Chain A
Amino acid sequence: MLNDYQHHLEQREQEGLPPLPLDSEQVTALVELLKQAKNNESEYLLSLLIHRVPPGVDQAAYVKAGFLSDVAKGNTSCESINKIRATQLLGSMMGGYNIQPLIDLLDEDDTADAAEKALSTTLLIYDAYHDVVDKARANPHAKRVVEAWANADWFKAKKALPESITVTVFKVPGETNTDDLSPATDAWSRPDIPLHAKSMLVSKMPEGLELIEALKKKGHPLAYVGDVVGTGSSRKSAINSVLWHMGNDIPYVPNKRQGGVILGGNIAPIFFNTAEDSGALPIECDVQSINTGDVITIYPYDGKIINEAGEVISTFSMRPTTVADEVRAGGRIPLIIGRGLTDRARETLNLSISEVFVRPVAPVDTGKGFTLAQKMVGRACGVEGVRPGTYCEPKVTTVGSQDTTGAMTRDELKELACLGFSSDLVMQSFCHTAAYPKPVDIKLQHELPDFISTRGGVSLRPGDGVIHSWLNRMILPDTVGTGGDSHTRFPMGISFPAGSGLVAFASALGVMPVDMPESVLVRFKGEMQPGITLRDLVNAIPYTAIQKGLLTVDKKGKKNIFNGRVLEIEGLPNLKVEQAFELSDASAERSANGCTVHLNKEPVIEFLNSNVALLEWMIAQDYEG
């Protein structure tokens, strides 16, 4: 195993890449070697076990957790790891297979302290929470774990977002879309983050990566700067690549980075959210006086950026208000999960709500009525409506995952320690790779359906077709959904498409974080003229917005009324639902966060009757799930 691994190391090194994370077979072999190794020769083996195994519910993590658990409980011996060290290392695995052993170890005299410490800063607890609370009645260590959660020790242990951040600027002028950052032609390599990062900007700025290396020599971290950043698809691989070049290593997580700063005159909403999810600091500000090679200092709390001469060259306000907490927690997703755990523990202990976190502030209630989108999200939150600016976590009924982000979503689900979906329907498709699959695509087409169906999802088959055309037939009217493809835009109900991290979160937890956007109403009136099609009406939306000065084509100081808002369309209520999707689908091109289409009941009834027949046919055809 070690010879093969050495060979792999050298091969990757020649390409300038770190080795791939260890798989379950390698970890099995590694464990055997560790058991036999003498203390003085085990350092290398141990470092592989500690740093090169993916956390969560990866199969390799299963082997690692099993071994460490055996050592910690004294079932097996290993000269280089004592019981306490084994317990500590279990605590670095984030969640999943390490949790039950750690809870057991709270009962053992020699490991209880270490297990207490490990669990106190572990967030992916899920249902095991009840086991710890039960144990807390008689076990003082378990009691202190619950108290640590309630005190948000996990959060306090992390470094707060600093008062000032000095960075060297890497600027890509004009618009960078997600395809520039993560080219579709290299979609196959996305799960291998360091390899995929080599394709960043290759056609947009061929000298980009060399420039990044040169700029790093100035000694500061780099900031990614652009006029318009992250337009287009929702692919998280775009942010993964940016952070691979500009972020920081994550302890105990191989080949992935977090942190980093992104400055944009205009940052596309999904890209902005994906940056938040990954623990980066996205800032929308005027970037016209910020250029490649500049050393600038960002004062996030004061909302200003100064150059080396000390002059203020741009100002901004941090948004959302919780972003400093997000950066501190290592991302919006760990923040939401951790904050939830703290809230839950305080409720158990009858304590008032924690004041450690910046809480989202609810906007002033205008007392006016709600838009269709505000009502749909409201129902998913159990209220009548949700005002723009409200942070909420609507129930996500439907989730779509497509193949070129599916492998990343799988990896994120493993990191979230997800063994079963909470969302009603999670659907996986193979529409992006069915026609001309590479060997790596074929492997995914074979492996992913099982991964999805064992967690309660449904997999389409290669050749079945585009995910949206299927998923639209599975949704219920007036519900909320999401998907890992920016065109997940329901023709009835509303979808907020997202990066693969958030898609995994929504699948696993059945809810998703939404900062409710404002809405833009587009109202059609009058009669359609001869020869005019729906696609022309799709295009009429930006066309009219340009004429009204609400949208500009030029990228410098670009204006886009739809950016980050919900597009709400009315005036064509008799469209068939298939037709309505043409309108909602194109809200992606507007960089809108979501879209609703007002329809009459009749076409919706017709569509659902059709879909019931399709679903029954699918069941008869043995679609799993």
Chain B
Amino acid sequence: MKAWLTNPELMERDADAEYAEVIEIDLANIKEPLLACPNDPDDIKPLSVVAGVEIDEVFIGSCMTNIGHYRAAGKVLENMGNLPTKLWVAPPTRMDQHQLTEEGIYSIFGRVGARTETPGCSLCMGNQARVADGATVVSTSTRNFPNRLGNGADVYLSSAELAAVVASIGRLPSHEEYLEKVAGIEPMSDEIYRYLNFDQIAEYSEINT
């Protein structure tokens, strides 16, 4: 690793490389959040098509998340009392949990009554804690196959930001409502989407090796 850092070179593809298909996605055309709908990760729909669906439980966790997602969720939930949904929070690693606790983000999760889980896969695989039978769920996890998160559960997959909004209102919001609820994130985005640079965190970098 250190050897790579002394001469950092990354490979690049050749300009005339061959592909079975080239799919171009213009970000200007992605105007609203996209969700995978029950119960197939391929069944993608824009938020406006599914807005209004009542949601029972929300899961923010799995390998699809990183520390920024939890700060963003904390921002959305920071002024909330009890939530109309059951919210599950499981950061990916011990270090994320520790850092989020230090920053006071866990106190927000505690106040809104979220169930915080051991760092790890948590609900994502379905072999540990599970959502209620037949629940309608918004999750940040990897896949929403039938019965994976809970028996007979209907699961939407979305961003942590949208999941946090859903947790706070108990249904899928309209696009406008979503934008309003996440408005607090953008001005703080440098603080929120900051990643775990262990070389800059005293606890990890100041060790006696």
Digit string of B45-71 for contact with A (CB within 8 Å is 1, else 0)? 000000000000000001110111000
- Inter-chain CA distance A578–B67, complex, in Å, is 9
- With A369-B17, A525-B27, A612-B199 known, 10 other A-B pairs at CB within 8 A are A179-B148, A185-B126, A369-B13, A463-B118, A536-B159, A543-B44, A553-B40, A568-B13, A604-B8, A604-B10
Which residues of B, 73-97, contact A by the 8 Å Cβ criterion? 90-97
Contact between B42 and A466, CB atoms less than 8 A apart? no
Task: Note all chain B residues with C-beta closer than 8 A to A578.
Answer: 66-68, 195-196
- Inter-chain CA distance A431–B117, complex, in Å, is 12
Contact between B117 and A435, CB atoms less than 8 A apart? yes
Is A8 an interface residue, CB under 8 A from the partner?
A: no
Is A527 an interface residue, CB under 8 A from the partner?
A: yes
Taking each of B2, B23, B34, which has the highest tally of chain A beta carbons within 10 Å of its own beta carbon? Answer: B23
- Inter-chain CA distance A431–B25, complex, in Å, is 34
Task: Note all chain B residues with C-beta closer than 8 A to A467.
Answer: 63
- Inter-chain CA distance A538–B10, complex, in Å, is 24
Question: A residues within 8 Å of B by Cβ?
Answer: 177, 179, 183-185, 187-188, 203, 231-232, 366, 368-372, 374-376, 379, 388, 404, 430-436, 463-470, 476-478, 487, 492, 518-546, 548, 550-551, 553, 560-561, 565, 568, 570-571, 576, 578-579, 581-582, 585-586, 588-589, 598-601, 604-606, 608-617, 619-620
In-complex Cβ contact of A527 among B27, B146, B151, B182 (8 A) = B27
- Cβ contacts A to B, 7 pairs, < 8 Å: A231-B145, A371-B17, A464-B94, A529-B28, A553-B42, A578-B66, A608-B5
Contact between A539 and B199, CB atoms less than 8 A apart? no
- Inter-chain CA distance A605–B19, complex, in Å, is 29
Contact between B13 and A372, CB atoms less than 8 A apart? yes
Contact between A464 and B127, CB atoms less than 8 A apart? no
Contact between B13 and A375, CB atoms less than 8 A apart? yes
Task: Note all chain A residues with C-beta closer than 8 A to B94.
Answer: 463-465
Contact between A522 and B23, CB atoms less than 8 A apart? yes
Digit string of B153-171 for contact with A (CB within 8 Å is 1, else 0)? 0000111111000000000
Contact between B120 and A435, CB atoms less than 8 A apart? yes
Contact between A612 and B64, CB atoms less than 8 A apart? no
- Inter-chain CA distance A611–B43, complex, in Å, is 36
- Inter-chain CA distance A535–B62, complex, in Å, is 13
Task: Note all chain B residues with C-beta closer than 8 A to A469.
Answer: 63, 66, 92-93, 96
Task: Note all chain B residues with C-beta closer than 8 A to A376.
Answer: 11
Contact between A612 and B5, CB atoms less than 8 A apart? yes
Nearest chain A residue, comparing its CB with the CB of B90? A435
CB distance from B119 to the nearest CB of A (A): 4
Q: Is the interface of B mostly helix, strand, loop or mixed?
A: loop
Q: With A435-B117, A523-B22, A613-B204 given, is the CB distance from A468 to B63 under 8 Å? A: yes
Task: Note all chain B residues with C-beta closer than 8 A to A366.
Answer: 18
Contact between B127 and A187, CB atoms less than 8 A apart? yes
Closest CB pairs A-B (n = 3): A369-B14, A465-B93, A535-B159
Task: Note all chain A residues with C-beta closer than 8 A to B198.
Answer: 610-611, 613-614, 617
Task: Note all chain B residues with C-beta closer than 8 A to A476.
Answer: 1, 4
CB distance from A195 to the nearest CB of B (A): 16
CB distance from B56 to the nearest CB of A (A): 20
CB distance from A524 to the nearest CB of B (A): 5
- Inter-chain CA distance A544–B126, complex, in Å, is 29
Contact between A536 and B119, CB atoms less than 8 A apart? no
Is B179 an interface residue, CB under 8 A from the partner?
A: yes
CB distance from A604 to the nearest CB of B (A): 6
- Inter-chain CA distance A394–B92, complex, in Å, is 30
Task: Note all chain A residues with C-beta closer than 8 A to B26.
Answer: 525-526
CB distance from B114 to the nearest CB of A (A): 15
Q: With A463-B119, A530-B179 given, is the CB distance from A179 to B19 under 8 Å? A: no
Interface size class of B (residues with CB under 8 A): 35 or more
Contact between B125 and A184, CB atoms less than 8 A apart? yes
- Inter-chain CA distance A575–B110, complex, in Å, is 31
In-complex Cβ contact of B121 among A372, A431, A609 (8 A) = A431
Contact between A532 and B27, CB atoms less than 8 A apart? yes
Digit string of B180-209 for contact with A (CB within 8 Å is 1, else 0)? 001000100000000111111101110111
- Inter-chain CA distance A576–B62, complex, in Å, is 18
Contact between A434 and B44, CB atoms less than 8 A apart? no
Nearest chain A residue, comparing its CB with the CB of B117? A435
Task: Note all chain B residues with C-beta closer than 8 A to A530.
Answer: 179, 186
In-complex Cβ contact of A372 among B12, B25, B34, B204 (8 A) = B12
CB distance from A579 to the nearest CB of B (A): 7
Contact between B25 and A541, CB atoms less than 8 A apart? yes
Task: Note all chain B residues with C-beta closer than 8 A to A542.
Answer: 36, 41-42, 44
- Inter-chain CA distance A379–B42, complex, in Å, is 33
CB distance from B1 to the nearest CB of A (A): 5
CB distance from A540 to the nearest CB of B (A): 5
Contact between A520 and B125, CB atoms less than 8 A apart? no
- Inter-chain CA distance A560–B12, complex, in Å, is 27
Task: Note all chain B residues with C-beta closer than 8 A to A492.
Answer: 10
In-complex Cβ contact of B66 among A487, A522, A579, A599 (8 A) = A579
Taking each of B4, B93, B158, B160, which has the highest tally of chain A beta carbons within 10 Å of its own beta carbon? Answer: B93
CB distance from A95 to the nearest CB of B (A): 33
Nearest chain A residue, comparing its CB with the CB of B13? A372
Task: Note all chain A residues with C-beta closer than 8 A to B121.
Answer: 431-432, 466
- Inter-chain CA distance A266–B193, complex, in Å, is 39
In-complex Cβ contact of A433 among B97, B127, B157, B162 (8 A) = B127
Is B142 an interface residue, CB under 8 A from the partner?
A: yes
- Inter-chain CA distance A478–B2, complex, in Å, is 15
Contact between A465 and B21, CB atoms less than 8 A apart? no
Q: With A469-B63, A535-B160 given, is the CB distance from A526 to B27 under 8 Å? A: yes
Task: Note all chain A residues with C-beta closer than 8 A to B64.
Answer: 535, 538, 582, 585-586
Contact between B8 and A605, CB atoms less than 8 A apart? yes
- Inter-chain CA distance A370–B9, complex, in Å, is 17
In-complex Cβ contact of A521 among B15, B22, B30, B33 (8 A) = B22
Nearest chain A residue, comparing its CB with the CB of B35? A539
CB distance from B85 to the nearest CB of A (A): 19
- Inter-chain CA distance A187–B195, complex, in Å, is 33
In-complex Cβ contact of B13 among A370, A599, A601 (8 A) = A370
Contact between A531 and B178, CB atoms less than 8 A apart? yes
Task: Note all chain B residues with C-beta closer than 8 A to A524.
Answer: 25, 27
Task: Note all chain B residues with C-beta closer than 8 A to A463.
Answer: 94, 118-120
In-complex Cβ contact of B14 among A184, A370, A571 (8 A) = A370
- Inter-chain CA distance A468–B64, complex, in Å, is 10
Contact between A589 and B142, CB atoms less than 8 A apart? yes
